[in-house]
Amino acid sequence: MTILEYLEPTFLIKAAGLLGVFAIVFAESGLFFGFFFPGDSLLFTAGFLASQGILPIGWLALGCFIAAIIGDSFGYAFGKAVGAKFFTRNDSFFFKKHYLEKARLFYEKHGTSAIFLARFIPIVRTFAPIAAGIGQMKYQTFIAFNVIGGFVWSLGFIFAGYFLGRTVPGIDQYILPIILLIIITSVLPGLFRFRH
């Protein structure tokens, strides 16, 4: 199998189970090496699999919401602890300085709402809480936008997959094209924003 096949949402969910999904959501939300996980499509696929009885929808929704909040909070605390020193760090396999710089610029442009908006932009989603910590955003402000963003992002994608799986007959035949569409629509706005 190639690395992309290992990162395919259905494979990840079936291999890692419910706790694995929570761990991936946590990592993608606040650990600087979690940017390569397929967050949006993972949540959608997990919701779809829950509609087929493979995962319990209640625990899935609650756990992903909590994992998203804790992940962002961890990223914020990490950014606050390391501060500007992080910008002098050399690039490595898991860390690219320009990802953090893009998140910082996104944060500067959108202010506090960046924490909410970043949830819906891959890569920025991972680095925005770190940039917020570096920028010394007040934690009370950060956590408010973190909770709202985590709620809309996690439950929105999970229940989109769940209700589609419950209401559209034979939708499982189209799950891969739907996941591909989610990935494209998630990535394109971020790429467009970063180029302009």
pLDDT of res. 66: 96
Q: What DSSP line would sit under 53-83, residue for residue?
A: TSS-HHHHHHHHHHHHHHHHHHHHHHHHHHG
Amino acid identity of residue 119, one-letter, is R
Provide the percentage of residues in the chain whose pLDDT is more than 90: 22
> By C-alpha distance, which of 19, 9, 16, 71 is closest to 46?
9
pTM: 0.76
Provide the percentage of residues in the chain whose pLDDT is more than 70: 65
pLDDT of residue 56 exceeding 90, the answer is yes
**Average pLDDT of the segment spanning 101-129:** 76
Number of domain units in the chain: 1
- Containing structural domain, residue 140: 3-195
Side-chain-side CA neighbours of residue 156 (13 Å): 12
**Average pLDDT of the segment spanning 52-71:** 94
| Range from 14-28, 139-153, 174-188 carrying the lowest mean pLDDT | 174-188
State the burial class of residue 193 (Cβ atoms within 10 Å of its Cβ: 0-12, 13-18, 19+).
Answer: middle
In this predicted model, which residue has the larger pLDDT, 195 or 93? 93
Asked if 190 and 123 count as a contact pair (C-beta separation under 8 A), the reply is yes
